[in-house]
Amino acid sequence: MAKDSTRTSAEQQREAVAVSAEDSLTASLAANAVGEAVGDASGQRLSIRERLAYGVGDVGGNLIFAPISAFLLFYFTDTVGIGAAIAGTLLLFGRVLDGTMDLFLGTFIDRTSTRWGKARPWILFATPVVVISFVLLFNIPAGLGAGGKEVYAFVMYFLCLGVGFVGSNLAYHTLLSVITSNSKMRVSLTVIRTFFALVTTLVVNFVTIPVVTANGGGQAGWTLISIVYGAIAAVTFLIVFFGTKERVTGTIKQDDGQKLPLGKTLKILVRNPYFFLAFGFFLLNYLLTGTAGVGVYYAKDVLGNPNIYSILGLVQLLPLIIGLWFMPAIIGRFGKRKLILVGVVITVIGAIISLIDPANLTLLIAGGLVRAVGGIPAAAGLFALVADVVDYGEWKSGVRLDGMTYAAATAGQNFGAGLGVALVGWLLAAGGYDGQAATQPASAVSMEVFLYLWLPLIAAVLMGVIIWFLNIDKNLSQIQRDLASRRAARASGAHVES
C-alpha cells in the first residue's frame, strides 16, 4: 500500500490493518469495534453478568426440550402403554404444528414493540404455559382409556412445545441478534448458552432414568422429575428476562411510517438464500436430537442395560462441554464455515468407528468421543450463524427480520426433532418392537442400530453439503460495517429531530 506523506504513520497503520482484516479469514470478527468507531452503541461489549443471564436460558430450555426428546417416547410406550407407531405419529404431528407456529410467532415478534423490547416479553409470558404443560405431559392419568391417553398426550404435547416452548424459545433465539451487533460477542454468547445447554442435557441424560428407577420405575418417578425440571426452568427464564437488555433496533416500517404488510416481509425473507440453508441445517441437526430417544432402547436391547445410556450420553457431551471454550478464538482465526466442515468429516469418522461392532461398548465410546469432537464447531457457531443471516437480510433489503429469520431455525428445530422422534417410533414398530415384551426380536434390534449409528452418519454428510453453500463469512465484515454506519446515521438523525 502506497504511503501518503500528508497522513500520520498511525493513520496509515490503521488503514493497513483495516485492509488486511477485510481480506483475511477473520474478517467476520474484524468489525467488532466498528460500532464504537461510528457511534453505534449496539456493538458494545456485554458484561459477564449479562452474558451469564442470557446463557442460563438454555438451562431452562433444555430442562424442557431434552427430557421430551430423549424420554417422552419411552415414557409413552413403556409407562403409559401407547404403541410405538401411534406415539411416534402423535409426536410428529405435534412437531409439524410446532414448526408452523414458529413461522406465525416470528412475524408477531418482529411486530412487537414494548419498553422491554420485542423478544423479552415473549419469554416472560410463555414461561407459565411451557412449565405447567410440561409437568402435565409427563403425568398422563392412568384412569383414561387408550384413546383418551392419546388425545391427552397430544394436547399437552402441543401446548408445551407448540405454544409455550415455541414462544419462549423463538424469542430466546431472537434475543441473540438484538442483544448486541458485535459478532465476537454473539459467538461468546453462543458458547455460553451452548455450554449450559450441554451441561443440562448431560445432567438430564445422566440422572433421569436412575431417578425414575429409584422411585419405582413408573409414574411416580416421572411425576417427581418433571416437577423438579419445570420449577428450575421457570427460574432460569425469569433470569433471562430481568438480566438482559435489547440494543439492536431495526425497522419493518415504510416511508409513511406504517409497518410493512406481512406479504412484503415474507417476500423479503424468502429472497434471502441463507434463510433456506439455515432451515435445512437446523432440520438435520435436530433430526439427530429427535432420534436421540432411541439411545435408551439401544442401551437396553443392544447393550443389555438401559443405565448404560447415561454413560453414552456423558461420552457424547463431555468433549463438547470442554471444547466449546476454545471455539471463539479458533472461529476468529478460521471462520465458522470451515470449522463446521472439518467437524462434519470428524463426525463421519466417529460414526464409522462405532459401526465396526455396534455391540462393543469400547468402540461405541471411542466413536462417540470422535463424533462429539466433530460436533463442537457447529455447537459453538450455529446460533451465531443465524444472527449473521439476519444481518445479511437487513443489509440487502434495509428491513430487519429477527423473529422471522430465527423462525427458520426454530421451525427447522421442531420439524427435524419431530421427524426424528417419528422415525424412531415408526421404524421400531416396523421392526416389531413391543414395549411390554421382556426381549425384542432381532429385527427391532437391527432397527435400533440403524437409528443410533447409521442415521447420524447420513445426516452428517447432508449437513456438510448445506454448510458448503452457506458461505456467509466471506461478506460479513462489509455487512457489519455498513449496518453499523446505518444505525449510527439513524441514531444521529433521531437525535437531531428531538
How many other C-beta atoms can be found within 10 angstroms of the C-beta atom of residue 128? 12
Check the CA dihedral 158-162-167-169 and report its sign. positive
Q: Between these two residues, 397 and 259, which has the higher pLDDT value?
A: 397
SS3 259: strand
Instruction: Give the whole-angstrom CA distance, residue 81 versus residue 277.
Output: 39
Which of 387-420 are b and which e, b meaning 16 or more Cβ less than 10 Å from the residue's Cβ? bbbbbbbbbebebbbbbbbbbbbbbbbbbbbbbb
Instruction: Give the whole-angstrom CA distance, residue 19 versus residue 124.
Output: 44
pLDDT at 152 over 70: yes
- Nearest alpha carbon to residue 373 among 400, 340, 333: 340
Give the CA dihedral 392, 396, 400, 401, nearest 10 degrees.
-70
Q: How far is CA 232 from the centre of its chain?
A: 20
> pLDDT confidence of 181, banded at 50, 70, 90?
confident
Which of 41-64 are b and which e, b meaning 16 or more Cβ less than 10 Å from the residue's Cβ? ebbebbeeebbbbbbbbbbbbbbb
Instruction: Give the whole-angstrom CA distance, residue 141 versus residue 485.
Output: 58
- Per the CB < 8 A criterion, the answer to whether 183 and 32 are in contact is yes
The segment with the largest mean pLDDT, out of 83-97, 125-139, 309-323, is 125-139
> pLDDT confidence of 34, banded at 50, 70, 90?
very low
- Per the CB < 8 A criterion, the answer to whether 395 and 479 are in contact is yes
SS3 125: helix
Q: If you average pLDDT over every residue of the chain, what do you get?
A: 79
pLDDT at 370: 93
- Nearest alpha carbon to residue 57 among 100, 101, 120, 114: 120
> pLDDT confidence of 310, banded at 50, 70, 90?
confident
Lowest-pLDDT range of 123-127, 209-213, 320-324: 320-324
- Nearest alpha carbon to residue 119 among 385, 395, 404, 490: 404
Whole-structure pTM value: 0.64
Q: Which three cell numbers stand for residue 79?
A: 409407562
SS3 145: coil
Kindly state the average pLDDT of the residues 138-152: 89
How many other C-beta atoms can be found within 10 angstroms of the C-beta atom of residue 221? 21
Share above pLDDT 70 across residues of the chain, in percent, rounded to a whole number: 85
Instruction: Give the whole-angstrom CA distance, residue 173 versus residue 165.
Output: 12
- Nearest alpha carbon to residue 323 among 141, 195, 146, 429: 195
- Per the CB < 8 A criterion, the answer to whether 286 and 416 are in contact is yes
Q: Where are the alpha helices (DSSP H) in 39-145?
A: 48-55, 57-75, 84-110, 120-137
Lowest-pLDDT range of 4-18, 297-311, 443-457: 4-18
> pLDDT confidence of 9, banded at 50, 70, 90?
very low
Q: Which three cell numbers stand for residue 125?
A: 409470558
Return the residue matching grid coordinates 461420552: 315
What is the length of the chain?
498
> pLDDT confidence of 52, banded at 50, 70, 90?
very high
